[in-house]
Amino acid sequence: MKDEFVVIPKATISRLPLYFRVLSELDHVGVTIVSSEEMATKVGITSSQLRKDLSYFGGLGIRGTGYDVSYLLAKIKEILGMNQRRRLAIIGAGKLGTALAGYGGFLQHGLEVKALFDIDETKIGWKFGEIGVYHISELKRRKKEFSLDIATIAVPAAAAQQVAEMAVEVGFNAIWNFAPVRLEVPESVYVRNEDLVVGVLILSHHLTRINQ
C-alpha cells in the first residue's frame, strides 16, 4: 500500500466521475451497500476493473459485503476535489460560453460558473442569471474577486492561444479548452481539451464502416 510510490492511472481517474454518478443515484434511492458487480454493470465495465480502480485509494470496501455507498461517495468526492468548490471563468460569451454558463448540472458536482469574459463591448454588462459578462481585461481582478480556479476557453480557434496565455499570466493553472487547437502552456498548467468535432468525426468514421 506504499502509496507514496503508487501512481494512479489516468484511466482510473477518468472513470471516477462515472462512479460518482452511479453512487449518487444509488444514494438517492436509499441503497446503502453495493457490490462491485452491481456497480460495474451500471457503469458498463467489469467488476474486476472497478475493484482495481478503487484499490488504488486503499481498502474502501468490506469483504463479503460490498461497498458502503455513502462512504465511497464521500471518498470519491474527496479525490475529485468536489469538497472545495471550484469556480469557473468562461472566456468567450458566445453561443457555447453562454450555454455552458446556463448548464444546471455543475452545482451538484461542486462546480460553479462565476463569470463570463469577452472582448465584445456590446456584451459587457450582460447578465445570465447571477453571472455577469466582464471585459477580458478584468480577468485578473475578477479572478481574485470570485476566487476563480478554472479558465474555460470558449473563443474561436484563432484567439484561443492568446486567451490561454492571458489565463496563465493571471495565475490560472487549470484550463478547460473547447477551442480546436493545441494550447502551448507551461508544464505546470493542466489543460483538458474538449474538442467536440473529434467525437462526431469518430462517429462518422464508424458510419463509413457500417455502410461500406
Q: Which of residues 41-80 bind DNA (CB under 7 A)?
A: 45-49, 51-52, 54-55, 59-67
Task: Give Cα separations from 36 to 61, 69, 140 (angstroms).
Answer: 9, 11, 45
Determine the size of the site formed for DNA (CB under 7 A): 26
Q: What's the closest the beta carbon of residue 30 comes to a copy of itself, in angstroms?
A: 18
Task: Report the interface residues with a copy of itself, using CB under 8 A.
Answer: 13-14, 16-18, 20-21, 42-44, 79-82, 84, 86, 88, 95-96, 98-100, 102-103, 105-106, 109-111, 149-150, 173-176, 180-182, 188, 190, 192, 194-208, 210
Separation of alpha carbons 146 and 159, rounded Å: 24
Binds 65: which of a copy of itself, DNA, none (CB < 5-8 Å by kind):
DNA
Q: What's the closest the beta carbon of residue 17 comes to a copy of itself, in angstroms?
A: 4
Nearest to 118 by CA among 129, 100, 132: 132
Q: Which is nearer to a copy of itself, 73 or 96 (CB)?
A: 96
Q: What's the closest the beta carbon of residue 62 comes to a copy of itself, in angstroms?
A: 25
Q: 102 near 109, Cβ under 8 Å?
A: no
Q: 146 near 115, Cβ under 8 Å?
A: yes
Q: What's the closest the beta carbon of residue 118 comes to a copy of itself, in angstroms?
A: 15
Q: 93 near 76, Cβ under 8 Å?
A: no
Binds 18: which of a copy of itself, DNA, none (CB < 5-8 Å by kind):
a copy of itself
Binds 192: which of DNA, a copy of itself, none (CB < 5-8 Å by kind):
a copy of itself
Q: What's the closest the beta carbon of residue 31 comes to DNA, in angstroms?
A: 13
Nearest to 87 by CA among 115, 119, 68, 50: 115
Q: Which residues bind DNA (CB under 7 A)?
A: 1, 9-12, 35-37, 45-49, 51-52, 54-55, 59-67
